[in-house]
Structure 1
Amino acid sequence: MGTTGSTTPGLSMSRRRMYPDENTSYIRLGCPKLIRGVMEDWKYYPQCCFPDWTPDEVHWGGLFHGCEHMELCTVHEVVILDDGGSKQYSITHVDGDEKLTAACWNWLQEPQPARARVLFVENMSSQVLQMLGTKYNVDPSFFLSSMNWVLSRCYQEDPKPKESDHVTVILPFIRTTRNQQPIERASPIDIPSDGQQKIIQGMSPPYGMTLLQDLLAIHMVRTPTTSTIISYHPRSNLHGTCAKHLQSFLQHSDNSLILSISEDPTAAFILIMKYVLQEWDEAIGILYNCMIELESDAIGNVSVKVLQELHHLQAHVLCYRALLEHFRKSVAFVRELTPNPLTGARPISDRERRFSADLTKSELANLLSNITRLEEQILMFSDQTQRVRLLFAKLLKVIFPCFLAAVSLSPWPIFTNLTIVQRVFCMNVREIDPRTIGTLAQYAGTTIALILGTGWLVVVLNPLSSFHLGRHYIMQRLMWPIFYVYNTISRTIWMIRWSRRRNSDTWMG
């Protein structure tokens, strides 16, 4: 699932990064140019923070390929205050506008006297990617994994006791949206890869809603002062992203107990997980209604289309079971995320610290319990879908026995003819097999009659045959042997007369 340590398990551009040595520690480098306060330093990302990411590796890996779009990049921010309250902002960045670029960089540089700063990035641009990566020292593998939909990656990087650490969770989930036009998923970047289109097509259930797969990609930087959570949201051409929804959800959760008590910024992380759980609840509710409607259709309208819909639903159920398993592993990873580098960094009592830790574990246990409930519902859906398919098969056998017989006997004319030919040409005559009653003359007569009859039928059915000269009247085509013999005799007599007349004219000349 993931690792906890100093090794970066992201997408790798070299053999050393692709197969890292477990005994070799990967040390994050600071940004020396940034320390000197040069504003343009973020343009050198990722080389300014990660020198092993050469320009060739960045180009080959397509780090900025997902940023090549015309949509505006919007960063939705939620600032969680020390007392658990929150306030939200939004800033829009346009590539190529120097004033907006400078304003965005200055906005990121502003100190925030708060417990945590949550940034929901919608339609990531290359400049915003470089700013975030430089400001928070984010490994480029996070952006690559998110843009390439490398699903279910959870890992902790560079833990420093009482200082900081980096936590990454990339999790696919199912969310609901208004039914405009079903799409396969929230559009990732268009990389020419065979593994890209591996997601099952989006469902369009009734009740004006659509189920589609989205991605939750979170990178959390925990520090004693102000922690930061970066949430990347892939582009979606028709249905939008959940960045704005997450901002509103977190804003309306400012009175929650875990935010007001817990000193760990993981509390905001847990609230985001609760949003994913809420989306799963809505999606499974719509899936249940869709299954009930298909079940009634299977009983009242036995057709191939209903059977196809049942197979489609079964494929979705299997996919959702796998996604819920990824969700469970991600929550379990956050629960086992130790050690917390902020432990002891803030001047609070041991009792408050223990209460905060117990509250965090309790919330995570509650999440795991709800995920178990969702998994049981999905398993019930799978069993019910299988029962409906069996019921459909039984109804098909009861209602359409003639249809099934016709299907099973559809090649009857071909095999019947073959059977007749086998019986005729197996040489069951008295001269060969004394146990039979047929004679060689009967065999020869039957064979000749079959050959002549088959040839006559082939000529009758061929409208372009030269034997009946394309006659359109059915009687003329059925009597083509008579016309053929008559025409042949007439042509022969005419040729004889014409030959005699020519010879007579030659002799007279």
Structure 2
Amino acid sequence: MSYLRRRFFDARGSREAPRRPPPSHRHNGPSAPWPWINLHDEIDQVQLDSPAPPIPEPCDHKTCEGQCWKEYPQSRFPNWTPSQVRRSRIHRAITEHNKTAPSTIYHVDVDSNGFFTDSGTYVITDDTKEDFWNALVNDDSQRPTNNRVRAMFIEHLSGPVLMMLGAKYNIEPFFFSSSLGWIPSRYEEEVRPGQGDHITITLTFLRPMDHPEGSLHTYPSDSSTMTSLPDLQGQVIDTQAPLFLHSSDIYLILDLLAVHLIRSTDGNTIISYHNPEADTTSATYLHERIRFAGQSVYWQKIFQQSPDPTFVLLTFIWHAMYAWDESLELLYSHICYIETQVINTSDLHLTRELHIIRAHHLHYSALLEDFRKAVDFVLNTPNPAMDSLPEEERDSSRRLLQRECKNLLSEINRLEQGRAMQDKRLRNVLNLVFSSVNIEDSKRMRQLTEAAVRDSAAMKQIAFLSMVFLPASFVAAIFSMNIREIAPGTHGSLSHYFETAFPLTIVTVWVVMAFQSKHMLGQDATLFMRIFWPVTMLQQMARKRREASQKLNAPKWDDFKG
């Protein structure tokens, strides 16, 4: 069993795949003036009446004796009150982190020549958190002189590490709340013309993952129905949950890319957050992939030509692109497999799986749109620190960035076109399923009609046979009457028979006509009108005759012309 399989299976203790929380998009960036305050939440009156300035003075992190990080985020962002911090999940991350599991930060340094090197790993526990804070405060001075970018990949983010990073780099708490809550966001902050800025990108993307016990799920290729699969029976239309492709024992799960880039003339830093609770891309995995991106000849030339750290950010975004492309490839193969099953069977239950896939498809369209907006944001947010470079070098770097962002946008458009094509294929398969079911229903209806015709012929024969005995039965019924005209000595007579039969017949006909008269009198006929149906029918007949005579006597257009 692979590492990802073990991690997925051990974390759940069951076969249930992880479900991502639905994002609260209104709390995705600092442009929202009321962070994590919903319509019915109360405003903190203490903070509202506070005379302190909304923007605190910058901290040198040396004279504060660590209070700036121990009180983060309120120390740097006073508008984030305790109730808002609780709702944003930051309080839970700070107070309920696993103190026995250390936080690990993997480093990658990019020098001025564009070379990527592994600059070591830092393990932080409760016992070593003060040492880490001192190292973080002195990080800028301890970096190599030719360092261009330092990327930090955080595994098992603990509360102290979150507060230290936020206080040291003055990070908006929205980065952590969006990362913890799986909220797509993209925003720029701390803009200093000619010096730098901060940009944050968090986006949800699609990634394939093997089934934890894939070897246990082998199905015959000639299976006639999809509903016989155990994993499909429990599947519901939940776009936040993984989509299981039983044809290849693959889950399509939602993954998270959460990156905060600090662009500055004093040194550039990339912070990559990795969720430890869900089966997301691990810090070690992305750490290796980013290092290996530095081995690319194509990208190495770009890193050598431009000092802009935004190009390193693009390699993070390419990771999401790879995952999207591979996921849609697997989904396309699964749709082809379903088409084969539809051709071989006419099971209506196939529509359940098709509707599940179509619901996920619609969700994927929204995720791809967020992906496109993230790349557009990078393209349209130039690095203010590049203004200090000569104009020719700045323009050259800008053209390179535009070219690479357009390459990403072109790939996103290709993914969306492929997704749209798959959606059309799904609609075609749905139509094929319904057509097959209709054909089968038509065959069954034909068989039922033929059986009804045969039964009708048999009933006719029985009716004809009954008609042969009808006269004899009628005569037998008459001669069995106890009336003195037929059986002398009895007290009944033929007049008694007619006195009883005629009134009962009239009452029966009257009641039947009263209940059935709605078809003749109309649906709006009242109960009183139905009871006295002969009178009502005579009135209707008289009214119709009057209307007909009025139409005959009405003047014609030719009379006016004359």
Same fold flag (TM > 0.5): yes
Q: Could you tell me which of 70, 75, 80 is aligned with 1:53?
A: 80
> In the aligned structure 2, how far is the partner of 1:31 from the partner of 1:15?
30
Deviation at 1:434, TM superposition (A): 7.3
Matched, 1:321 2:365: yes
CA, structure 1 residues 119+181, in 2 after alignment: closer, same or farther (shift >3 Å)?
farther
1:367 to 396, 402, 408: 408
Does the 8 A contact of 1:8 with 1:157 survive in 2? no
For residue 342 of structure 1, give the secondary structure of its aligned residue in structure 2: helix
| Partner of residue 347, structure 2 | 303
Q: Is the 8 A contact 1:262 1:356 kept in 2?
A: yes
- The verdict on how the C-alpha distance between 1:437 and 1:40 changes in structure 2, with shifts beyond 3 A counting, is closer
Q: Is the 8 A contact 2:185 2:203 kept in 1?
A: yes
The residue number in structure 2 matching 1:471 is none
C-alpha separation between the residues in 1 aligned to 2:277 and 2:512? 81
User: What is the CA–CA distance in structure 2 between the aligned matches of 1:16 and 1:433, rounded to whole Å?
Assistant: 77
Match of 2:527 in 1: none
- 188, 208, 211: which one pairs with 1:156? 188
Partner in structure 1 of residue 395 of structure 2 = 354
For residues 509 and 32 of structure 2, the distance between their equivalents in structure 1, rounded to whole angstroms, comes to 88
SS in 1 for 2:188: strand
- Among 116, 120, 139, the residue aligned to 1:86: 116
Q: Aligned-residue CA RMSD in angstroms? A: 3.5
Are residue 105 (structure 1) and residue 169 (structure 2) matched? Answer: no
Letter in 1 for 2:411: N
Between structure 1 and structure 2, the one with the greater Rg is 2
Letter in 1 for 2:262: V
- Asked if 2 retains the 8 angstrom alpha-carbon contact of 1:27 and 1:158, the reply is no
Which residue matches 1:77? 107
Closer, same or farther in 2 for the Cα pair 1:59/1:316, shift >3 Å?
closer
Task: Call closer, same or farther: CA 1:28–1:264 in 2, change over 3 Å.
Answer: farther
Could you say if the C-alpha distance between residues 92 and 351 of structure 1 is closer, same or farther in structure 2, counting changes exceeding 3 Å? Answer: closer
Structure 1, gaps ≥5 residues long: 18-25, 183-196, 408-428, 439-509
Deviation of the 1:315 alpha carbon: 1.3
CA distance in structure 1 between the aligned counterparts of 2:444 and 2:125, rounded to whole angstroms: 64
Task: Give ranges in structure 2 of 5+ residues lacking alignment.
Answer: 1-24, 45-52, 215-236, 449-503, 514-562
Q: 1:119 to 1:251 in 2, by over 3 A?
A: same
Residue matched to 2:35: 11
Amino acid corresponding to residue 102 of structure 1 in structure 2: E
Shift of 1:350: 2.8
AA aligned to 1:396 is: V
The equivalences for 1:311-460 within 5 A come to 311-338=355-382, 340-346=383-389, 349-401=390-442, 431=506
1:294–1:309 Cα contact (<8 Å) kept: no
2:161 is the counterpart of 1:128: yes
Give per-residue Cα distances to partners, 1:81-105, cap 9 Å, x unaligned: 1111111245354543x13x23432
Instruction: Give 1:211-230 correspondences, 5 Å limit.
Output: 211-230=252-271
User: What is the deviation of 1:149?
Assistant: 1.9
Residue 9 of structure 1: how far off its partner (Å): 6.2
- 2:240 equivalent among 200, 219, 222: 200
Aligned match for 1:261, one of 302, 305, 312: 305
Distance 1:33 1:7 in 2: 27
**Cα distance 1:160–1:300, how it changes in 2: closer, same or farther (>3 A)?**
same
Q: Distance in 2 between matches of 1:204 and 1:148?
A: 23
Aligned mates of 2:405, 2:87 — CA distance in 1: 39
**Distance change (3 Å), C-alpha of 1:91 and 1:289:** same
Distance 1:16 1:437 in 2: 73
TM-score (norm 1): 0.68
The two structures have a TM-score, normalised by structure 2, of 0.62
Cα distance in 2, alignment partners of residues 432 and 228 from structure 1: 98
CA distance in 1, matches of 2:290, 2:508: 93
> Aligned residues, how many?
389
Describe how 1:221-300 pairs up with structure 2 within 5 A: 221-237=262-278, 239-254=279-294, 255=296, 256=299, 257-300=301-344
CA contact (8 A) 1:174 1:212 kept: yes
Compute the displacement of 1:33 (Å).
Answer: 6.2
**Structure 1 residues 433 and 60: alpha-carbon distance in aligned structure 2, compared to 1, 3 A threshold:** closer
State the partner residue of 1:496. none
What secondary structure, in the 3-state scheme, does the structure 2 residue paired with 1:36 have?
coil
**What CA distance in whole angstroms lies between the structure 2 residues aligned with 1:137 and 1:325?**
30
CA distance in 1, matches of 2:277, 2:120: 19
Task: Name the SS for the 2:256 alignment partner.
Answer: strand
Contact 2:89/2:181, CA 8 A, preserved across alignment: no
Residues 321/258 of structure 1: CA separation in 2 closer, same or farther (3 Å cut): same
Shift of 1:404: 7.3
Query: What SS class does the counterpart of residue 176 from structure 1 fall into?
Result: strand
Q: 1:62 to 1:435 in 2, by over 3 A?
A: closer
| Per-residue deviation, residues 217-250 of structure 1 (Å, max 9, x unmatched) | 222111012111212222345x453432321221
Determine if contact 1:335/1:361 at 8 Å carries over to the other structure. yes
Aligned partner of residue 288 in structure 1, secondary structure:
helix
Q: Amino acid of the residue matched to residue 35 of structure 2?
A: L
SS in 2 for 1:83: coil
**Cα distance in 1, alignment partners of residues 252 and 102 from structure 2:** 25
Structure 1 residue 435 displacement after superposition? 11
Q: CA 1:437 to 1:320, structure 2 compared with 1: closer, same or farther past 3 Å?
A: closer
Q: CA deviation at 1:376?
A: 0.3
Percentage identity across paired residues of the two chains = 29
Deviations 1:195-223 (A, max 9, x none): xx974320222334321001112221110
